[in-house]
Structure 1
């Protein structure tokens, strides 16, 4: 590969050498004509005289000898520790008494996959699923989210106060009216398109089969309204997704399930729930459950239309949605 700042390409080198060798140009004249040094013109002319046009190709810059290269035995030890223990360069270097950069260079030279590309239990390279079109695959899952008591949860009032369901006023013995607990959970049902990362999500009261089936009917209608025809749905093996009600709600849509105890197979919706928890559910200290619930639709709009997604080259999911604004109904 020609260096980006190189004054001559392979074709330019051949023309320079032909001017000197075939046409009899002086080296200084050829150097001025091609805007290079005289020594450069002499080097390419000599290589053309010895090897012909084939000598104009780039050569490897690797040295013929590397006396300070890491011994083969040490490289094998590094690779063995990486394969067996699946450690990073820093831990391997500490174990073997080497420099971290040395271990990193050995791992790179042998093309070993990065740890974040590996499945930790098996050590195999993770095969990532890519859907070429919207609707080819939609990931569906449920996230359980605890409700916030009035006045704020333990993140706001502290663990000692938040761990109590009610606090009695020491002087009157009455329950503080500004601190009334809210028991229970929200069940966040989510359907996310694998290609565009467009997400449809609802806060519901349970994860029973009738609730999951009704949620999918609304989610499918939402995708259809925005120009996405769903062909396959991927879920885990939860009881609500193995029910006849959910099967009937899917209709002609193909239903795929993840392998047991393999949540990474449904990784796109799992990652969405993690982002949701970091940027909405626990992003700030809410004073009530209602306040957090009111913020959810605004955050979901920001996620779809304005928040850059690393899996989409920094663009929001709306850039891949065919009819997100609903103007083509």
Structure 2
């Protein structure tokens, strides 16, 4: 049985998609910038003093109730809101650019795209196409107009097929484990301050299985100072 499973590359759980049990079929575009994936991940904001994951539910509720300057719900508990992480990740190299915001509107999404394109350009990458899901921000005239202005071809996934945008979905799962819930943050601001350092670690130091266990930045060839 093991011999047959091995010949079909089904002998390790790492080869299978956790949700469907189907064999993972890897693909990537041939060069950096040929396609980038964009998406937004929503994380609940952390109350001052720490969230329930690390301090326990009882203390977490106390910290939530004591967090100042927040609107109240009908039970008089503060509504802490969400952090919306806007991410642009290169399909070929897996180099990622992310920003934390308080909303996922089209105005915020296009501003992130502008800064991401500039950030990739500084690293020798010209963005040609962008793939998104069917969220409202990515269906807007503002998004299409911005892509046209930047000479980028916008693409969208088929409805109910998040696998098509799987690289950014997988990145957000890595981000949740490595940044969002990696340690006890005593405030939401502290967690957001930590995002830049974690992104640098992910891009420059963290081995990536799709990059032959090298960091994603190793797959870019025109990074300033790379060959000094």
* TM-score bracket for the superposition, by shorter chain length: 0.7 to 0.9
The gaps in structure 2 that reach 5 residues or longer are 67-76
The offset of 1:311, in angstroms, is 0.7
Aligned to 1:158: 56
For residue 115 of structure 2, the aligned residue among 218, 233, 246 is 218
1:244 aligns with 2:141: yes
Aligned to 2:201: 302
* Alignment CA distance shift 1:280-1:325 (3 Å): farther
Aligned partners of 1:257 and 1:149: how far apart in 2?
Answer: 35
Aligned partners of 2:86 and 2:185: how far apart in 1?
Answer: 21
Aligned partners of 1:127 and 1:291: how far apart in 2?
Answer: 38
For residue 314 of structure 1, the aligned residue among 210, 213, 216 is 213
Aligned partners of 1:105 and 1:301: how far apart in 2?
Answer: 41
Aligned to 1:10: none
The offset of 1:211, in angstroms, is 1.1
TM-score with structure 2 length normalisation?
0.83
RMSD: 2.5
Larger CA deviation: 128-137 vs 236-245: 128-137
* Partners of 1:191 and 1:200 within 8 A in 2: yes
1:209 aligns with 2:106: yes
**Which of these two proteins has the greater Rg computed from alpha carbons?**
1
* Alignment CA distance shift 1:208-1:327 (3 Å): same
> What pairs with 1:23-62 in structure 2 (closer than 5 Å)?
none
Aligned to 1:259: 158
Aligned partners of 1:278 and 1:309: how far apart in 2?
Answer: 15
Runs of 4+ in structure 1 off by over 4 angstroms are 117-121, 123-127
User: In structure 2, the residue corresponding to 1:318 is in which secondary structure?
Assistant: helix
The offset of 1:163, in angstroms, is 3.5
Q: In the TM superposition, what whole-angstrom CA distance separates every residue of 1:198-249 from its partner, at most 9, and x where no partner exists?
A: 1111001111111111111111111112111111111111111011101111
The offset of 1:327, in angstroms, is 8.2
User: In structure 2, the residue corresponding to 1:202 is in which secondary structure?
Assistant: strand
Q: In the TM superposition, what whole-angstrom CA distance separates every residue of 1:6-43 from its partner, at most 9, and x where no partner exists?
A: xxxxxxxxxxxxxxxxxxxxxxxxxxxxxxxxxxxxxx
Aligned to 2:71: none
1:268 aligns with 2:148: no
> What pairs with 1:284-303 in structure 2 (closer than 5 Å)?
284-303=183-202
Aligned to 2:92: 195
* Alignment CA distance shift 1:289-1:182 (3 Å): farther
Aligned partners of 2:222 and 2:112: how far apart in 1?
Answer: 21
Q: In the TM superposition, what whole-angstrom CA distance separates every residue of 1:109-154 from its partner, at most 9, and x where no partner exists?
A: xx44527446965x76554331110101101000001111000011
Aligned partners of 2:5 and 2:196: how far apart in 1?
Answer: 46
* Partners of 1:185 and 1:205 within 8 A in 2: yes
> What pairs with 1:75-86 in structure 2 (closer than 5 Å)?
none
The offset of 1:295, in angstroms, is 1.0
